[in-house]
Amino acid sequence: MARYAEGTAVLFYQKAELRLGMIAAMGARGCGVLDLDGVTIELTEKRFVLSSQTPLLPASGEALHHFAQEVEAAGKAFASEHIQELLGALNKAFSFEEACAVLNLNSDAQRFAFFLYLKQKEEIFAPKKGLYQIRNAEERQAFLNQREQSRQREHYLAEVAEYLESFGKGESPHLEEGMRERLKLELRGLQLQNGSKDLARILRAGLEGMEAYEGRLKELRLALGDVFTDTDPMAAESGIPVAFKPGLEKKILDAELVVQNPAKTASGKSPEAFSIDIAGTLDFDDAISLTPGENGWTLGIHISDVAGRIPAQSQLFVEARQRAASLYLPGESISLLPETLTRSEFPLLAGTEKPALSLYVELDRELRLGNFEFRLDRVKIKRNYSYQEFDAELSDPDFAPLYRLAQKLARERDDDEKSEISRFYWQLKVQNGEITMIKTDNLSPSRSIVEELMILYNRLFAKRATESGLPFLYRNVAGFEENEETEPRAQIQAYLSTEARFHPGVGSEAYLHASSPIRRFADIVNQMQFQAFLQGQAPALGKDELENLIPELEKRLLLLRQVARRSESYWLLRFLQQKHLGEPLDLILLKRLRQGYLAELTRWEKRLVVHCDSLPPLQTPVKAVFSSVDLRELSAEAEISY
């Protein structure tokens, strides 16, 4: 270990600040360093970044202050341009000692002043591994920008720390709006486990364990208005956006300025359009019309013109991009767009006339597809049906051809996948704290009609898209994957691409999503691109922009699926807890897990993780009596008999 004489002046860092001091005493493991405030600090030699060649005599606080004045005076003699010229002549990276030699700096005061000067001028002199390099103009600007960002970050974190301190005291602290929005985004990032570490350190202060930390994240999001008290627990902890920034719903174009032409068939008739969806829904983004003609019918499929109302790269467009899709959970829906737009402005509600991107297909008496075209028009909506209501209307001769058409379309695309779908699907529903199971007929006539007509719309849309030469977000299929956690059957493994591929499930050379722009961001993008094609304009987004968007969009869609699965697991356990503890239920154990079993409740075809003491056989019907549920681990405890 090198030894320093008492009185040696030193520069050292203390709490990220470069400070001047003097060695007051030497110890076995370090030095006692007197600083300018008269405080002695214990430091090891490794903390010193510069030391004087000769000690200060006498070794006193007065001598240290006198030396500090000499250093300050020496620093005033430095002129940046002259120093840059001399050191630039070296034409290479240089050490501190080399620079002192070139500048003829011999006294300790000069050397210390020059070291501080280099530190103050880091935008000019870049330190790296003990050497300095003179930055060029571009590097200098980049450094200044980075330093300003760091300064702003420090200010932001200080404000957040103050906010947290007040929040922890039960006060109602104020945070400037821009910082509030920034903090909301960063809290979501931390819930996704990819947020800023410096903010995480502040938030973890004084907490013990991950559960307390996760609880604080949720509390802060609630306090900032980013989630609500009744937000689905799995959604609130997931990091997905829930609440909208106030005023976003106003960032749309006036419907009167978008489309002026009223909807007309090729024969000049006004179609009578209607929507079919789940009872109680308001986000009708599609409607159907069937207009009789001399030789058959004109089928109209009308999709709300959302893209025409949202400017590309606007705040609302960016918000929808971050959300990717509406999320439908047992107790609520978290929409892609603000509620006013989702429930009033954009939906094709009965009694309204709305802008639409309409497909018109000519059908002959045998329901064979003829000529088709897409048009931007304004469509009048006569009625909104629920699936059950429309099933009851199918005896009406005006509607009967629609079901025959749906059956014909399904046969023509040889939809083997449908045969694998269970006829009925049980859906968890939460309303006013009551959890119920609702039975849905997957293969009802009305559902088949909507499904087949939307597939037709998307298929013909994709056909025109490929002919346009413009880039779109196509939906291709790579194969099948088995979801071992919750899904009862193999799932199609689909992916987005700007290159169209044959879609085996649909039986077409190209396929994409464009029929649900109120609920899916990809549909908005495809609508936007298609409108440019129809109007002979340049596309809103180029191919490179779409390809950069795809990974982000697919990652977000995957997260939404995970949240939906966790939410269903959570509410299924709450359902069992509320209504079926202690009751024998039919169960099949599908797979052994590291902890427990993956099982299926056969009555509702719902999957869950089960813990039990016995070792029952797999793939065999058993009886399970559930005794408790763990809502944090999303599992249940049961006694199995077989």
**Count of residues in the chain:** 642
Would residue 531 count as lying in a domain? yes
Say yes or no: 493 and 470 in one domain.
Answer: yes
* Res. 439: pLDDT tops 80: yes
DSSP string, 148-175: HHHHHHHHHHHHHHHHHHHHHTT-----
Q: Which residue has the tokens 């006193």?
A: 60
The position carrying tokens 């980049």 is 142
Per-residue model confidence (pLDDT) at position 89: 93
Number of domains in the chain: 4
CB 583 within 8 A of CB 575: no
Q: Is residue 541 part of a domain?
A: yes
Alpha-carbon distance of 398 to 536, in angstroms, equals 37
* pLDDT class of 486 with cuts at 50, 70, 90: very low
Q: CA 70 to CA 297: how far, in whole Å?
A: 97
Q: What is the mean pLDDT of the segment spanning 529-542?
A: 96
Determine the pLDDT at residue 81.
Answer: 82
The H or E element containing residue 271 is: none
Predicted local distance difference test score (pLDDT) of residue 225: 96
CB 298 within 8 A of CB 291: yes
pLDDT number for residue 488: 44
Q: What is the per-residue pLDDT for 489? A: 46
Q: What is the pLDDT of residue 415?
A: 55
* Same-domain status, 326 and 313: yes
- Do 112 and 207 have their domain in common? no
> To the nearest whole percent, how much of the chain has pLDDT over 70?
96
pLDDT at 492: 63
Task: Say if CB 57 and CB 66 are below 8 A apart.
Answer: no
Question: Which residues span the domain enclosing 171?
Answer: 138-226
Q: Any idea what DSSP says for residue 593?
A: -
Structure tokens at 569: 């697991």
Overall average pLDDT of the 408-433 stretch = 80
Residue closest to 350 by CA, chosen among 389, 324, 314: 389
d(CA 275, CA 290): 12
- The pLDDT of residue 491 is 56
- Band (267; pLDDT cuts 50, 70, 90): confident
Domain shared by 14 and 105, yes or no: yes
d(CA 574, CA 81): 73
Q: What is the mean pLDDT of residues 638-642?
A: 93
Mean pLDDT calculated for residue range 30-34: 94
DSSP class of 263? P
> What is the pairing mode between strands 434-441 and 424-431?
antiparallel
Calculate the average pLDDT of the chain. 93
Amino acid symbol at 450:
V
Average pLDDT on 3-31 reads 92
Whether residues 427 and 407 share a domain: the answer is yes
Same domain membership, residue 300 and residue 214: no
Q: Are 80 and 147 within one domain? A: no
Residue 322: pLDDT band by 50, 70, 90 thresholds? very high
3-state secondary structure 24-77: EEECCCCEEEEECCCCEEEECHHHEEEECCCCCCCCCHHHHHHHHHHHHHHHCC
Q: What is the pTM of this model?
A: 0.86
d(CA 92, CA 89): 8
Is 513 found in the same domain as 490? yes
What are the start-end ranges of the H helices in 177-290? 177-191, 197-204, 210-223, 233-236, 255-258
Answer whether residue 604 is part of any domain.
yes
List, for residues 577-597, the tens digit of each pLDDT value.
999 999 999 999 999 999 899
Same domain as 397, residue 355? yes
Q: Does residue 265 fall inside a structural domain?
A: yes
Find the mean pLDDT for residues 316-330: 97
Average pLDDT value for residue range 134-155: 96
Give me the residues paired with residue 377 across strands.
Answer: 356
Radius of gyration of the chain (CA): 34
Q: Across residues 130-157, what is the average pLDDT?
A: 96
Average pLDDT over residues 170-186: 93
| Position 420 pLDDT exceeds 70 | no
Nearest to 616 by CA among 602, 636, 633, 598: 598
Task: Tell me, rounded to whole angstroms, the distance of Cα 477 from its chain centroid.
Answer: 23
Show the tokens assigned to 152.
């702003």
Strands (E), 222-285: 273-277
Dump pLDDT digits (tens) for 344-394.
999 999 999 999 999 999 999 999 999 999 999 999 999 999 999 999 999
Is the model's pLDDT at 490 over the cut of 90? no
Contacts of 558 (CB under 8 A, 6+ apart): none
Alpha carbons within 13 angstroms on the beta-carbon side of residue 579 total 10
Rounded to whole angstroms, the Cα distance separating 19 from 116 reads 10
* 343 found inside a domain: yes
Domain edge (last residue) among 527, 560, 593: 560
Q: Which pLDDT belongs to residue 382?
A: 97
The DSSP code sequence of 453-509 is HHHHHHHHHHHHHHHHT----EEEEEEEEE-SSS-SSEEEEEEEESS---BTTTTBS
Burial class of residue 593 (count of CB atoms within 10 Å of its CB; 0-12, 13-18, 19+): middle
**DSSP collapsed to 3 states, 494-563:** EEEECCCCCECCCCECCCECCCCCCCEHHHHHHHHHHHHHHCCCCCCCCHHHHHHHHHHHHHHHHHHHHH
pLDDT band at 495 (very low <50, low <70, confident <90, very high): very high
How do 584-592 and 333-334 pair as beta strands? unpaired
Domain assignment present for 142: yes
Give the whole-angstrom CA distance, residue 530 versus residue 537: 10
287 forms beta bridges with 302
Q: Is pLDDT above 90 for 485?
A: no
In 3-state terms the chain splits into helix, strand, coil percentages (rounded to 5) of 40, 25, 35
Is residue 295 in a domain? yes
Determine phi and psi for 633, rounding to 5 degrees.
-85, -10
**Amino acid (1-letter code) at residue 472:** F
Same domain, 222 and 295: no
User: What are the backbone dihedrals phi and psi of residue 629, each rounded to the nearest 5 degrees, phi first?
Assistant: -130, 150
Tell me, what's the pLDDT at 299? 98
In this predicted structure, the answer to whether residue 487 has a pLDDT above a threshold of 60 is no
* Residue 248 DSSP class: G
Residue 232 lies in a domain: no
In this structure, are 551 and 591 located in the same domain? no
Among 87, 109, 135, give the residue marking a domain's end: 135
Nearest to 528 by CA among 360, 355, 314, 306: 306
Residues 145, 55: one domain?
no
- pLDDT value at residue 479: 64
Asked if residue 260 has pLDDT above 90, the reply is no
The reported pLDDT for the residue numbered 502 is 93
Which residue pairs, CB below 8 angstroms and at least 24 apart, start in 337-341?
Answer: 337/249, 337/306, 337/518, 338/244, 338/248, 338/249, 339/244, 339/249, 340/249, 341/249, 341/252, 341/518
